[in-house]
Structure 1
């Protein structure tokens, strides 16, 4: 006779399998559709045929249009790859933030990464810096994002410990200062610089290239591996700091390591795509509602969910308005904003009010 515990475990296993398969199929389909959508429409079977042809499999037809294959590999596929990688990076970063703060409302922007990166990008744009050639804006954004995170962390430490409340409040202060810095740079810049700063803040994957994919892919892979290795400790941390310490977890070291991973994942995403909000808030929370609190499957589910959301958002950005490329950060905010309101109401009801 099957016990209730065995039944619960089998149900959770089935839910994981169904979710992973569903997310994987949906992501694959969204990649094919997204790569084939644009001014030059390419059917999904021809997109898949082009992919398979590159690995020596000629089962499906290549694009009929003479420029179809070149369009896919020079423009469409790099952009889709960036959407997948950045979506996964932001979602996993959000999951780690929620884990170390023990709060489903936490997301990477809390510790100043995005706003700091915006200041770095603004400095590069307004003052016409070219230290790193075409990569200057991305490099400055990445360095400034990591610098803001380091500043928040150092200012929130006291007596060898990092207090979560102080960390969040310091992050809010740094975000406010960064916002003032962005406003000042916008004021100082000329018309073209202002337009660049505003467009960068709204987020976009336009102009993505394979060289960018080759930079961001190893960083995202390293961040995912770190999240997998820390998953068991994050499960113990969910029991409370005191219990986690009794079970052998160095809470302070874990928190430092995860904040660094979050800064790395978010910093590299923001550096190349601008500010894309709410992916790190919406996806981890949805996956947790379906799978439960265990972080090992949540890392995989969040990565797949984030990649799917950003791929679909990028598809919408390129297709909703004919002959235009909408800011992708605006679309994710339109989806994430209402979800955040719902999440606030749900959290408030569960806790019986805020105070």
Structure 2
């Protein structure tokens, strides 16, 4: 790994540590950083502190910050891989409908599922199925004659999002229980407020295993950047590899969205920024994107909690306010490039 990449990873690790401290210290109740450090170190050493501040940090803020870091890292990694698979820098779990599909699957289970199936493994499984179905639909609609343009990819993603949004709205209308309605709204806007210690294991495992496997597949991902013909010449079965990578990416997205709702634009902005810093090689790009996504979502959630305190803004609203203009800028740039080369 190049020295530049190591330096970037160290800077991002420090930024993640700083954003974690900020996430634990700031909120409706502010806690001094030295008090935060004392409470966290004491808990890790087996001497958990007592009192209101300790309860706020251990029971509310720390699981929320950790979930934000896991989800942000996972969405950034998924976005990086999707951009390589479809060879388009505008690809993103949200824009390609994967997050919306996972959200729709989770909502269907919440409203029509029962018992342990609704809130056990059934939830991430349904989210995975929805994510996979959405990705396959967008890819099939955008690809024509062996090629895929930015315009078709964007339109296909928007169309699938509209369909899934209509499905979610229909479920909302059919649901007669206020608790279910609140859950549906959570999935559509995205949020980390429901983070609990007993629910961190599955998304963290999905992130670690998924990212580890994808880093191991860095060379095939690099080969895809040369196009299918170039990849085939270099010995890669592009179609088979792309199908397997789609399944793995959908699984990661589905598990994450099952616990955070649909949070957009993380997988669009972070990979692009990481690529500008360390280049397009996925062995360096994926870990940098993961750390960058973790930092970004932890900070976005901090803004969501504090901007209108004591009220709370869904974190998906914050990421959309930042990512929307970024997407329009990238779309304008990509359209200009296609016009020049087309």
TM-score interval w.r.t. the shorter chain? 0.7 to 0.9
1:146-161 equivalences under 5 Å are: 146=131, 148-149=133-134, 152=137
Q: Is the 8 A contact 2:132 2:246 kept in 1?
A: no
State the alpha-carbon separation in 1 of the partners of residues 280 and 63 from structure 2.
Answer: 34
Q: Is the 8 A contact 2:85 2:224 kept in 1?
A: yes
**Farther off after superposition, 119-128 or 82-91:** 119-128
Does the C-alpha gap of structure 1 residues 197 and 299 become closer, same or farther in structure 2, counting only changes over 3 Å? same
Does the C-alpha gap of structure 1 residues 153 and 257 become closer, same or farther in structure 2, counting only changes over 3 Å? farther
Match of 1:18 in 2: 7
Q: Is the 8 A contact 2:64 2:192 kept in 1?
A: yes
Per-residue deviation, 1:130:
3.0
- State the superposition RMSD in angstroms: 3.1
Match of 1:184 in 2: 170
TM-score of the two chains, using structure 2 as the length reference: 0.87
Does the C-alpha gap of structure 1 residues 25 and 338 become closer, same or farther in structure 2, counting only changes over 3 Å? same
TM-score of the two chains, using structure 1 as the length reference: 0.84
Q: Is the 8 A contact 2:189 2:314 kept in 1?
A: yes
Match of 1:279 in 2: 266
Q: Is 1:32 matched up with 2:17?
A: no
Match of 1:328 in 2: 315
**Farther off after superposition, 95-104 or 38-47:** 38-47
Match of 1:117 in 2: 102
Match of 1:107 in 2: 92
Does the C-alpha gap of structure 1 residues 118 and 55 become closer, same or farther in structure 2, counting only changes over 3 Å? closer
1:237-248 equivalences under 5 Å are: 237-248=224-235
- Structure showing greater Rg: 1
Per-residue deviation, 1:265:
1.5
| Residues 216-256 of structure 1: per-residue CA shift (max 9 Å, x gap) | 11111111011111111111221222121111112122211
| Residues 49-91 of structure 1: per-residue CA shift (max 9 Å, x gap) | 3333344399xxx87x722223222211111110000000000
Q: Is 1:94 matched up with 2:115?
A: no
| Residues 74-113 of structure 1: per-residue CA shift (max 9 Å, x gap) | 2111111100000000000000000111110111235532
Q: Which protein has greater RCO, CA pairs closer than 8 Å, 6+ apart?
A: 2
Residue in structure 2 matching 1:293, options 268, 276, 280: 280
State the alpha-carbon separation in 1 of the partners of residues 341 and 164 from structure 2.
Answer: 29
State the alpha-carbon separation in 2 of the partners of residues 115 and 343 from structure 1.
Answer: 21
**Farther off after superposition, 79-88 or 170-179:** 170-179
Q: Is 1:70 matched up with 2:55?
A: yes
Q: Is the 8 A contact 1:126 1:189 kept in 2?
A: yes
